[in-house]
Amino acid sequence: MRPSTADGAAGAGGSILEETIERAVEFHGHLGPFLVLGVRMGLFARRELDSAPGEMEAAVKTGAVPSLSCLLDGIQVSAGCTLGRGNISVEPPGIAEAEFSASGRRVTIRARAEVVGEIKSWRERYASLEEAARKISKRSDEELFELSWL
């Protein structure tokens, strides 16, 4: 597994992660923890599969009910898997998990149960959704996700 790049370098404006989150917020409409989790999941999948944006496919298991489904928008922006391109699908059962594939390789990335629980009960820990999202953005991939090769 490659190391997390939560603090990865980008142009003069900041990190790749920060820039991708900004684009995701523009696309989605607001900053939230499941959006950020989706951004992180898509970037993690790209690194693991050594893929550029749009070169892989994603089957996302969130279902279509917010707030969990906000993960989809983060994946669309960070992985380049979009409904318009037809390289993303949305499936039940309503879990924070996605299967990514590229070049004959497949990996499942699932958000750790404790992370999902923390997000769902954000009012107990954080003053706002934005604060919860910022805290999630600073964690390592290993803290956020479980990875399984298929």
Sketch the domain layout of the chain as residue ranges: 16-149
| pLDDT at residue 9, rounded to an integer | 39
For the segment 51-79, the average pLDDT, to the nearest whole number, is 97
Question: What percent of the chain shows pLDDT beyond 70?
Answer: 91
| pLDDT at residue 72, rounded to an integer | 97
Which CATH architecture group holds 16-149?
Answer: 2-Layer Sandwich (3.30)
Q: Using the Cα atoms of residue 60, residue 66, residue 67 and residue 70 in order, give the sign of their dihedral.
A: positive
| pLDDT at residue 10, rounded to an integer | 42
Could you give the dihedral angle defined by the CA atoms of residues 119, 67, 88 and 18, in that order, rounded to the nearest 10 degrees?
A: -50
> For residue 7, is pLDDT > 80?
no
Would you place residue 68 in the very low, low, confident or very high pLDDT band (cuts 50, 70, 90)? very high
| 109/104 Cα distance (integer angstroms) | 17
